[in-house]
Amino acid sequence: MHRRTALSVSVALLAAAPLLTACSADTRPGTAAVVGGERITTSALQAQVNDVRAAQNRSAQGAQLIGATAGLERLKLNKMIQTAVLERAAKDAGVSVSPKEIEDVHKAQLEQAGDEKALAAAALEQAQLTPGQMAADTRFKLLRDKLFAHYGSQDKALVKLGEAAKALHIEVNPRYGHWDARQILLGDQQTPWITQRSRPEQAVPAGA
């Protein structure tokens, strides 16, 4: 097993296909969730899940990793919804993260991990992330920590996150569980909002 390693990749990996497409407020077939009047499609969700499963199957620990992530679809959908909530709250607060900040974190994490292969293995093992998903995860953590700092406490930031979630009128396909508006998460998924404050290169990956 690899030691806990915070995760990121080059800024180029941020250029991914959009996860949200416009639709009505009503959930319909092919929709995993509706957030702010836009839908997270089941195909976008499944693409993330399939990427992780393919990477797990290539790993020497594949059976163990797959067995430990039976709820991968819900975990990924939870993160996709929370990302939209975080982006809305950050925009409202005037908080942002630059590509350089993401790249700087990646360099520090790569130095700690030793090489890209070790970093990718840690990402897959600890946070169910493929290389193509790691930069977005780093952006999430940096934006979250900046939002906490902006409001001076996690509690105050959580209130703003709750307001952002409410404004987005989140609806989830019952297939994936129930959206908990109070906790700002999907069902019994672990929330990444409350975390031990630490340097980015030592942070536990969100959703791990």
Residues 6+ apart with CB under 8 A from 203: 6, 141, 195, 196
Q: Say if strands 31-35 and 38-41 run parallel, antiparallel, or are unpaired.
A: antiparallel
| Sign of the torsion formed by the C-alpha atoms of 52, 183, 177 and 71 | positive
pLDDT of 29: 78
d(CA 126, CA 115): 17
Span 110-167, pLDDT tens digits: 999 999 999 999 999 999 999 999 999 999 999 999 999 999 999 999 999 999 999 9
In the chain, which ranges are E strands? Answer: 20-22, 31-35, 38-41, 171-172, 179-180, 185-186
- The answer, yes or no, to whether residue 71 has pLDDT greater than 70, is yes
**Of 13, 84, 10, whose CA–CA distance to 45 is shortest?**
84
Averaged over 165-184, what is the pLDDT? 92
Q: For the whole model, what pTM was predicted? A: 0.79
The topology (CATH level 3) of 11-200 is: Triger factor/SurA peptide-binding fold (1.10.4030)
The Cα-based distances of 172 to 51, 66, 78, 94 in angstroms read: 22, 25, 10, 28
Beta bridge partners of 141: none
What are the domain boundaries of the chain?
11-200
